[in-house]
Amino acid sequence: MSPDLLGYVGAILTTIAFIPQAAKTIRSRDTRAISLWMYLIFTTSVTLWLAYGIALGAWPIILSNGVVLPLAAAILAFKLRYG
């Protein structure tokens, strides 16, 4: 299996993993069980990974973090707004 294929499979699975949480949070606006610090740190790290992927021209990193960043940012925004 090629390294790029591994990267794309990992990217797809990572991205899919965030969709249910984002959908549930947006639908319910219930963020009580979500850690603010975890999402602050996570959203920052995804932003840095995206920048790293862009710097390398590594499409699996760019695509996965480009999709996960708005989902993580939405969850963080709901956490900040609805506590």
Residue type, 72: A
Residue 1 has pLDDT above 80, yes or no: no
* Residue 7 confidence (pLDDT): 83
pLDDT tens by residue, 6-62: 888 988 898 898 889 889 988 998 988 889 999 999 999 999 999 999 999 988 889
Q: Which residues contact 83 (CB under 8 A, 6 or more apart)?
A: 31, 32
Q: Does the domain at residues 3-82 carry the CATH identifier 1.20.1280.290?
A: yes
Q: Could you count the other beta carbons within 10 Å of the beta carbon of residue 72?
A: 22
* Residue 57 confidence (pLDDT): 94
In the structure, what pLDDT confidence band is assigned to residue 70 with cuts at 50, 70 and 90?
very high
